[in-house]
Structure 1
Amino acid sequence: MTSVRNHRPPLSGNKWFIFVLAALILGACSPKVRTVPSSTVKTTTENPVTKPVKPAEKPPVKTPEAKASVISLILPFGLDHAAGGQRYTAAKLKMANMSVEYYQGFKLALDSLTANGSNYKLQIFDSKDDAAQAHSLGLNPQVKNSEIIVGPVFPDDVKAFTAMLTSARKPIVSPLSPAAPATFKNQNLVTMTPPLEYHAMGAATFIAKSIKPKKVFILNSGFSAEKLYTSPFKRTLDSLSKRKIQVVNITVVRGNLTPLAAQLSNKDQNIFLVPSTKQAFLMVTLKSLDTLSKKFPVTLFGHPNWEKYTFLKAALLQRLNTHITSTDKVNYKSAETNTFLRSYRRTYHAEPTDYAIKGFDQGLYFGKLLADGENMNKPDLQDFTGLHNSFHFIKKPGLGWINTHVDILRYQNFDLKKVE
């Protein structure tokens, strides 16, 4: 996925969820309380019986509690809309639900680590999806002194927030946005969702190493925005193949692919890349490509956003042997996923959304790093396989750490399956 705002509908549109958020937040860092029974005084008229005095036993040595690691979570709850006389718009309520769901998944991960002896202090802050509020939080001493800061979520808020935290300090996690790190230019940033260029690089790597074609045809619509995908794609393909794979760029007009016929193979797979996200262009071009596939073997690679486009029919994409890159595939048959589902349902009496699963993965990852005393300033962070996506980070000077892991998915049996 490459868009935070266009995920599947959130868990619930009910406003009551926001009113219980305060109670949830209060429980985020509740101390463990040990109840000590009070002594009782007995009266008696009998003469006391002298008993031999035993030497006083030494009290058991109390194991010191692990120092609490401080984590600040900054999400757009928009709690001011829950005040008396205020109300949420549909968009703001969707944003608030997303925040609650991510928070619940994140806290569930920390709770599971706490059961094994770890200790955390989770601080919750409301960014309100407001750049001025994010700017203000960047000056908050409680936030600045955290071991890890998770949030804000949206690019404008991240930019305003990170502008206040430019010196060498603890990591600032961008949890959901796929915006390019160059947008923010902050050495402390940890980008969890791979930006578009890493999707392009992942597709090119798969083609060069697994398919090894002689040519790749790029079908362009003519919009310059497509270069954000095609430029890193071609650069990676040229590098891995040492320019032995020819890249043919074509601007397609009204779906006319006839000029390509002379360059296509009747035996080998003809590899096409279509980087467009424009509905009108895709409908016409993919229909023409479908016609072409009746005479020539076709394998198609598409933009990662295609996964959420309902106008693209699975039957057509399957006929074209379509592949896309993704960071959002959950294996609901795995034992780990089912353990999480049972725990989430038992704790929150609700079904987890993608945001809850992402929150759980990221809470587990950073919670473990803190519990293990990991040096967060070293060049390479540990790899991690989560329920929703895996993490493989690279560090770039001035841009921080970037998760580069993407999966290759292919349409099979009218569904997207991970290519092993």
Structure 2
Amino acid sequence: MTSVRNHRPQLSGNKWFIFVSAALIIGACSPKVRTVPAPVVKTKTEKIPDKTEKIPEKPVRRSEAKASVVSLILPLGLDHAAAGQKYTASGLRMANMSVEYYQGFKLALDSITATGANYKLQLFDSKGDAAQAHSLALNPKVKSSELIIGPIFPDDIKSFTPVLNAARKPIVSPLSPASPATYKNQNLITMTPPLEYHAMGAATYIVKNIKPKKVFILTSGFSEEKLYTSPFKRTIDSLSKRKIQVVTITVARGNLTALIAQLSANNQNVFVIPSTKQAFLMVTLRSLAELSKNYPVTLFGHPNWERFVFLKAALLQQLNTHITSTDKIDYKSAETNTFLRSYRSAYRAEPTDFAIKGFDQGMYFGNLLADGEDMDKPDLADFTGIHNSFHFIKKPGQGWINTHVDILKYEDFELKRVK
């Protein structure tokens, strides 16, 4: 679930030579970076601080400790980088994603080392292959890590996690929004909220902020939409104590005539469309736009809508459209701009969403490790990052799940955060 992205330059080919040479040293330490103060040159005219003058406090450094071992398992596909080999288009996308995430994650750890923290960052190539992921789960260097980040893809996670199911070993699923129920591993930490938490977030906002008497769910009839509609309805019923009626209608050819008798001419009529099918959306949204000429309409859509170029901002704004998101970046904030400067300086490139996610997660887990958190029984506190915020719940057999989603609304032909 990603937000409307700024188009950034792709990684240059030259960057690969730099990265691959480092990545080939699998299991190498992340260098400990220290901030070295500039030498102070004392002169005869140097001011001696008055006893009453407040002297600025020095940054608090953590006590020196042994290196925390972190293993990153990413689909680099380094065998394709060898002489005489080449990447496929999909393989290159996976490799680029891996490089970008790695660079963001490492930049975070390097920045924390300035406070006295110490890390050993091990990098392993899963090759995007389930068998390779299973093999890595048996690797003693991986098993002895204090924290494991990856694998990335659901099939690889399914192959990897059963090997470590008995051990108290936190395994971070950094990018996949797949439901942790499919893995059944109590040690899993799911960073990207699964679809059901988007539905629950939308339902919570509707109950607490709009407070309608009815909510209309417009479906295309595909069973996959129940992954959204079921948790949505449960949340509405629970929070409203069934005082808000949920009306589910299967729409054919955009025909909304049967709804007109139930609509209010004065109050907001809330609609939810869980579909991601282009043909269905184009027809249904046009019909809903016609209704909006006579009835107040507020629409909630699937989180993937923000990636669909066929959905025009003008139409979505006309329908007072809201979507849930985990990827909204405030490019005007001081924290974001500090990160951008650091990333550009370190890598001579623009950070992608994957780099920013890597940085947020590196800062979060890096600080936990530096503070001596027991990762066998971690206390995963709330965190506000550049890319997304983290709010975890613990579910038996599923591990920790980040449930935080933002509510975005189309205003001035762009998405803006309203919650």
TM-score by length of 2: 0.89
Residue 239 (structure 2) aligns with:
240
SS of 2:109's equivalent in the other structure is helix
User: What does 1:35-46 align with in structure 2 at a 5 Å threshold?
Assistant: none
Residue 315 (structure 1) aligns with:
314
Residue 22 (structure 1) aligns with:
20
Is this contact kept in 2: 1:220–1:275, CA < 8 A? yes
What is the Cα deviation at residue 91 of structure 1? 1.1
**Alpha-carbon displacement from aligned partner over 1:135-173 (angstroms, at most 9, x marks no partner):** 000000000000000000000011111021111322000
Is this contact kept in 2: 1:172–1:190, CA < 8 A? yes
What is the Cα deviation at residue 286 of structure 1? 0.2
Residue 39 (structure 1) aligns with:
none
> Unaligned stretches of 5+ in structure 2?
35-61
Q: Which moved more, 1:10-19 or 1:270-279?
A: 10-19
Residue 115 (structure 2) aligns with:
116
Is this contact kept in 1: 2:219–2:275, CA < 8 A? yes
Regions of 4+ moved over 6 Å: 6-10
* 1:257 aligned onto 2:256: yes
User: What does 1:263-302 align with in structure 2 at a 5 Å threshold?
Assistant: 263-302=262-301
Residue 195 (structure 1) aligns with:
194
What is the Cα deviation at residue 18 of structure 1? 2.7
Residue 87 (structure 2) aligns with:
88
Is this contact kept in 2: 1:101–1:356, CA < 8 A? yes
Superposed CA RMSD in Å reads 2.0
> Unaligned stretches of 5+ in structure 1?
34-62
Is this contact kept in 2: 1:75–1:151, CA < 8 A? yes
Find the aligned partners of 1:2 and 1:218 in 2 and give their Cα distance.
23
Is this contact kept in 2: 1:392–1:403, CA < 8 A? yes
What is the Cα deviation at residue 66 of structure 1? 1.6
**Alpha-carbon displacement from aligned partner over 1:7-36 (angstroms, at most 9, x marks no partner):** 987752544333322344458523679xxx
Find the aligned partners of 2:75 and 2:9 in 1 and give their Cα distance.
16
| Partner AA of 1:398 in structure 2 | G
User: What does 1:22-171 align with in structure 2 at a 5 Å threshold?
Assistant: 22-25=20-23, 29-30=30-31, 65-171=64-170
**What count of residue pairs does the alignment treat as equivalent?**
389
Identity of matched residues, %: 74
Residue 51 (structure 1) aligns with:
none
Find the aligned partners of 1:362 and 1:219 in 2 and give their Cα distance.
36
Distance 1:10 1:101, change over 3 A: farther
| Partner AA of 2:161 in structure 1 | T
| Partner AA of 1:30 in structure 2 | P
SS of 2:100's equivalent in the other structure is helix
Is this contact kept in 1: 2:11–2:349, CA < 8 A? no
The structure having more radius of gyration, on CA atoms, is 1
Distance 1:304 1:147, change over 3 A: same
Is this contact kept in 2: 1:215–1:247, CA < 8 A? yes
Distance 1:393 1:306, change over 3 A: same
| Partner AA of 1:29 in structure 2 | S
| Partner AA of 2:266 in structure 1 | K
Find the aligned partners of 2:30 and 2:87 in 1 and give their Cα distance.
28
Is this contact kept in 1: 2:192–2:326, CA < 8 A? yes
Find the aligned partners of 1:384 and 1:215 in 2 and give their Cα distance.
35
SS of 1:164's equivalent in the other structure is helix
